[in-house]
Amino acid sequence: MKLRTVAMTFMLILAACGGGGAASPSAQPTPIATGTPGTVIPATVQTVAGNGSAGNTNGSGRSATFAGPTSIAIDVVGGVLYVLEPGATDIRAVTRQGAVTTLAGGLSSPGSLTFDQANASVIVTNTATSALLRVTGGGASSAYAQVPTSQAIPPTVLGQITTDASGNVYVTANRAGDLFTVVPAGSVSSQAVGPGAQGVVAPSADGPVYVVDQGAGALQRISAAGTTTIASSPLLQPTQSMTFDPADSTFYLTDPRDNRIIAATMGGQVTVFAGTGTAAETDGTLAAASFNAPSGIAYDASSGALFVSDTNGNTIREIVGF
């Protein structure tokens, strides 16, 4: 794992929690503590936004509230994290400084989202119709693509979604075990990847796509050359969302059932990365911190941080210093 110094974190003026748990709604974000340049900061989990109460209040850091946040994605260039709240049918926007606003509301059956960096827009799934919707930075939405359901596949099987640097969109259908690819022109193709297809990530433009088959507990590389299993472990079976850190060649996955974050390397090693396993909102070191049904996860390449949405905790968490 890489080590980051205080000198490298002055740009990360993000909300930090002292001892975890819910804070008062009036609490404000606390900048990450600075110190002697060159001092190594221990890897820690901290709360960026949300006070733990279920709600839909915009604001700064812990003065904001969320209602069951799930899928998240980051605009690395714009420095904005997009968070989906399926129950509230909203997409919220969170800056690196912890300011929370609403990008769009009243979405129809939203399931998961991704940020299309090539087209500077959010793409979200409609689980009722197996359709994809594009949402611009101004909050306007439009139909983007229709995933075929001619194979008698129930429309609610659309799972996780991601996009690559070329604007290709990939979405899993876990019950059917399919991976759907939507090219920028809008045409859709599919291939079978396993009966429990869930987490998906596309680290490079037009390159391999990585999918977790929950049924087999396997992380698979999907390319023109075929399908290769690069890691296999029971730890992968309950995972949901996935992101990739190219600096470490490591995948990070959420485990909402066991309240943990799982790491899987390109070399095949799978370990528990963070979380005690107890359902709670406790900040601290990787081994001492607790999550409460973590669902979405996104890696911010510009800061080297991981962002996690805690669905049952109604908060957005951040992992830094690893």
**Per-residue DSSP letters for 101-160?**
EEEE---SSEEEEEEETTTTEEEEEETTTTEEEEEETTS-EEEEEE---TTS--GGGEEE
Looking from the CA of 31 toward its CB, the CA atoms found within 13 Å total: 9
With contact defined as beta carbons under 8 Å apart, do 214 and 175 qualify? no
List 114's β-bridge partners, or say none: 123
Mean pLDDT score of the chain, rounded to an integer?
A: 86
Length of the chain, in residues: 322
CA distances to 41, 84, 99, 172 from 59, in Å: 28, 17, 6, 33
Beta-carbon contacts of 174 under 8 Å, excluding residues fewer than 6 positions away, are: 157, 159, 195, 196, 197, 198, 214
Instruction: Give the pLDDT of residue 147.
Output: 85
Per DSSP, the three-state class of 307 is strand
Instruction: Give the pLDDT of residue 308.
Output: 98
What share of the chain in percent tops pLDDT 90? Answer: 73
CATH 1.10.357.10 fits 6-23+30-238+256-320, yes or no: no
* Tens of pLDDT, residues 80-96: 999 999 999 999 999 98
Per DSSP, the three-state class of 41 is coil
Residue 58 has a CB neighbour count (10 Å cut-off) of 15
pTM, rounded to two decimals = 0.87
Instruction: Give the pLDDT of residue 287.
Output: 95
Residue 143 has a CB neighbour count (10 Å cut-off) of 12
pLDDT means over runs of 10, the chain (322 residues): 37 34 33 44 91 96 97 95 96 93 95 95 92 93 84 66 96 85 90 89 92 94 93 97 96 98 97 97 96 98 95 97 92
Instruction: Give the pLDDT of residue 106.
Output: 94
Instruction: Give the pLDDT of residue 8.
Output: 32
**Which tokens sit at 284?**
């601290």
**Which tokens sit at 84?**
């989906």
CA distances to 24, 63, 119, 210 from 82, in Å: 24, 18, 15, 22
Instruction: Report the sign of the C-alpha dihedral through residues 232, 237, 243, 248, in that order.
Output: negative
Quick one: which of 276, 244, 282, 246 has its CA closest to 261?
276
